[in-house]
A = this chain, B = another copy of it.
Amino acid sequence: MPKRLAYLGPPGTFSEEAALLYDPAADLLPVPSIAAVAAAVLTGLADEGIVPIENSLEGSVSETLDLLIQESSLYIRREVVLAIHHVLVVKPGTRHTDIQVIYSHPQALGQCRRYLDTLFPKVRREPALSTVAAVEQVLTSPVPAAAIAAGRAAALYPVEVLARDIQDNPNNFTRFVALATADHPPTGDDKTSLAFTYTIDRPGLLHEALGFFASRGINLAKIESRPTKRELGRYIFLLDLQGHREEEAVKGAIADLTRQTSWLRVLGSYPRWQGVR
């Protein structure tokens, strides 16, 4: 039976591209929000759910981090790294000199700014609520229009691709995570994600916390903070480290950290993404 895989829809988004990269044979279930991906997994509607967690230009996706902090029965089971390629699409037959307006999500417009400045310096840019909404606006536009979208949108909508790979920075990658009700068994090349916080505040707390890993030679891949939502200036820290929570060194560091913090949650151990970066 194919895996039922929920993702942040609609079809035609980079999230759908990530879902297809993760498991081309999966039964894909588009849902309307990151919270809905979690709900689909927690209620058994889907076996796993794919959500974006970090982009190499924009940084972390706060909504996903907050979801992992809150949902104590949701775990990271896998990671998937997708190269982001933006395409410029138009209604079939539209020539690039005809284009009077270019629609896209503000982030996509920003990531293609130099391209637009160079090739479409005088064309109006209109922010849209998503790259897929931008494609729909092109199809109903009374004047010749273009949209910046994911390549996947061009495969699903009756549009023509005028240009590919129009993003300014070639180092544009998004890391997605597959969420499930359990994490992944050890494979020998794994990562572990943790979240923790303190109720007290004194100099050196976080230094001590990182010391549990440094003293065991465990490399940290990432450190991030999120607001506790109770008081400005109080944070929940998120760590990604190399190794699996069942490995002795990692197990020891987590035990020390559990004693030192007021709250800790292991968000999951999962294989490091091996795809081409």
Residues of A within 8 A of B (CB): 54-59, 62, 81, 127, 129, 169, 171, 173, 175, 201-204, 206-208, 210-211, 213-214, 217-227, 229-233, 235, 237, 277
Partner of A232 from B56, B223, B229 at Cβ < 8 Å: B56
A237 to B220, CA, bound (A): 13
Partner of A56 from B173, B203, B229 at Cβ < 8 Å: B229
Chain B residues whose CB sits within 8 angstroms of the CB of A207 once the complex forms: 207, 210-211, 213-214
* 24 A-B pairs (CB sep. < 8 Å): A55-B227, A56-B229, A58-B62, A59-B226, A59-B227, A81-B232, A129-B129, A171-B229, A171-B231, A173-B232, A203-B214, A203-B217, A203-B218, A204-B210, A204-B213, A206-B220, A206-B223, A207-B207, A207-B213, A210-B210, A222-B233, A222-B235, A223-B225, A232-B277
Chain B residues whose CB sits within 8 angstroms of the CB of A231 once the complex forms: 56, 171
A233 to B277, CA, bound (A): 11
CB distance from A106 to the nearest CB of B (A): 8
A218 to B202, CA, bound (A): 9
Closest partner residue, chain B, to A219 (CB atom): B203
Chain B residues whose CB sits within 8 angstroms of the CB of A59 once the complex forms: 62, 225-227
CB distance from A69 to the nearest CB of B (A): 11
Chain B residues whose CB sits within 8 angstroms of the CB of A230 once the complex forms: 171
Q: Are B225 and A222 in contact (CB under 8 A)?
A: yes
Chain B residues whose CB sits within 8 angstroms of the CB of A210 once the complex forms: 204, 206-207, 210
Q: Are B224 and A225 in contact (CB under 8 A)?
A: yes
Whether A171 touches B223, Cβ cut-off 8 Å, given contacts A207-B213, A210-B210, is: no
A171 to B230, CA, bound (A): 6
Partner of A203 from B201, B202, B220, B226 at Cβ < 8 Å: B220
Closest partner residue, chain B, to A126 (CB atom): B129
Closest partner residue, chain B, to A216 (CB atom): B203
Residue of A214, A219, A222, A230 contacting most chain B CB atoms (<10 Å): A214
Whether A224 touches B227, Cβ cut-off 8 Å, given contacts A175-B232, A206-B210, A207-B213, is: no
CB distance from A84 to the nearest CB of B (A): 11
Q: Are B222 and A223 in contact (CB under 8 A)?
A: no
Residue of A59, A173, A175, A202 contacting most chain B CB atoms (<10 Å): A59
